[in-house]
Amino acid sequence: MATVRLLSDEEAGADALAVFDDIRAKRQTDYINNFWRALAHDPALLRATWERVQAVMSPGALDPLVKELIYVAVSTANGCDYCVHSHTAAAKAKGMTPAQHGELLLVIAMAAQTNALATALSVPVDDRFRA
């Protein structure tokens, strides 16, 4: 289905397998999702991406669930079907309620609509919005 084969544990090299182990330990599940199996062809990229995702998505000034909602929003606007699915699932796992999902969709749709209007009208930025 993909442009590269998804590597099984048996096919993955030692460096990739070490990342799989870390994913399993941190997420407390045996399941490795397809994104990581596709990245396993390039163990350095696999490790860098996994470590970066953990750092970016951990609790900080923004709540992890809020970060997932933002992730879904970007993925929708970029038309990434895989990422829409994986981060909607992640948001549900972090407690997103159906009502929150509904409002997320409303904001994404509203933004898409006014983005289109502002672009079609080429509205100049108000001075007061500039830093």
Rounded Cα distance between 30 and 74, Å, is 28
Query: Would you count residue 2 as binding a copy of itself (CB under 8 A)?
Result: yes
Which phi and psi angles does 121 have, rounded to 5°?
-95, -10
Task: Give the one residue of 31, 47, 51, 95 binding a copy of itself; rule: CB under 8 A.
Answer: 31
Task: Give the one residue of 18, 22, 70, 94 binding a copy of itself; rule: CB under 8 A.
Answer: 70
Query: Would you count residue 93 as binding a copy of itself (CB under 8 A)?
Result: no
Stretch of 10-18, 20-28, 49-57 lying at the interface with a copy of itself (CB under 8 A): 49-57
Task: Give the one residue of 15, 26, 34, 51 binding a copy of itself; rule: CB under 8 A.
Answer: 34
Query: Would you count residue 110 as binding a copy of itself (CB under 8 A)?
Result: yes
Stretch of 8-16, 18-26, 100-108 lying at the interface with a copy of itself (CB under 8 A): 100-108
Least distance in angstroms from the C-beta of 21 to a copy of itself: 19
